Amino acid sequence: MRMKPTALVTGAGRGIGRAIVLDLAREGYDIAGVDILYEPKNDKSGLFEVKACAEESGSVFLPVRGDIADLEGHGRILEEVLGRFGKIDLLVNNAGVAPAVRADILETAVESFDRVFGVNARGTFFFTQKIARQMIAQVQENPEARPAIIFITSISASVSSPSRAEYCISKAALSQAAALFADRLAEHGINVYEIRPGIIKTDMTAPVKEKYDSLIAEGLVPQKRWGYPEDVGKAVAALAKGFFPYSTGLILEVSGGMNIRRL
């Protein structure tokens, strides 16, 4: 009997992470979802609501409590996932935070910079390092294995937004991390991809909804609408299907055409 592929998704409790989990569940993955919020009695939102929805598609979903910024906790997360599934075929680095308060770059606080960078760049880098070592061991044990890693970054990796400098810098760093891991892991047959979402309607963008409503109406986004978490989920599922075997290091922008240079 063929074992189902297993995905590990960080920041899986809501928004983009939730959409990624549900699309992967529909593609036949069993999934471990990591989130800092872990509320077993909450069936309306969070990891356990996601668990119920994923299992409707026939998947096994393992909720895992974890803060990606906590490097000491990475080993426990890996142990929990391997204890349940025995392997990791796909890592989706989705966990991320925005500044608690948007501030001009000349007023960026050290505390805010460290918090955002700690999750988005530092924590994700070292978490990927740990999972990559596990994936290499899996390939050495089974040369037919083809694990993959997907980084969810942002158009902010290359687009200036001086009111949230720490976020842009963290996403630019994460984009470079994706390229570095793609380069290093290619010899092991482990493909690494980067997805750059544009303006996505989530809790993170809710405080600036009116601003983006106006900008979208004025033509900032060629496709003239907000992006939705499901748009990113579909992109992850497309990469997870393995249809891009000769494209490690690929950057896939999901932004409604904001990548188009226009006059």
Summarised one tens digit per residue, pLDDT across range 94-122 is 999 999 999 999 999 999 999 999 999 99
Read off the pLDDT band of 3 (50, 70, 90): confident
Per-residue pLDDT of 64-92, as tens digits, reads 999 999 999 999 999 999 999 999 999 99
Average pLDDT, rounded, for the chain? 97
Rounded (5°) CA angle 231-234-240: 145
- Domains of the chain, by residue range, sit at 6-254
Give the CATH number of domain 6-254; options: 3.50.50.60, 3.40.50.720, 3.40.630.40, 3.90.1150.10.
3.40.50.720
Q: Which residue is catalytic, options 29, 38, 167, 212? A: 167
Mean of pLDDT values over 10-33: 98
Asked whether 60 and 30 are in contact (CB, 8 A), the reply is: yes
- Is residue 38 among the annotated active site residues? no
Residue whose structure tokens are 């937004």: 161
According to DSSP, residue 221 is labeled S
Helix (H, G, I), strand (E, B) or coil at 178: helix
131, two tokens: 């999972």
Span 239-255, average pLDDT = 98
The predicted-structure confidence for 157-188, as pLDDT tens digits, reads as follows 999 999 999 999 999 999 999 999 999 999 99
Compute how many other C-beta atoms are within 10 angstroms of the C-beta atom of residue 44: 7
pTM of the predicted protein model: 0.97
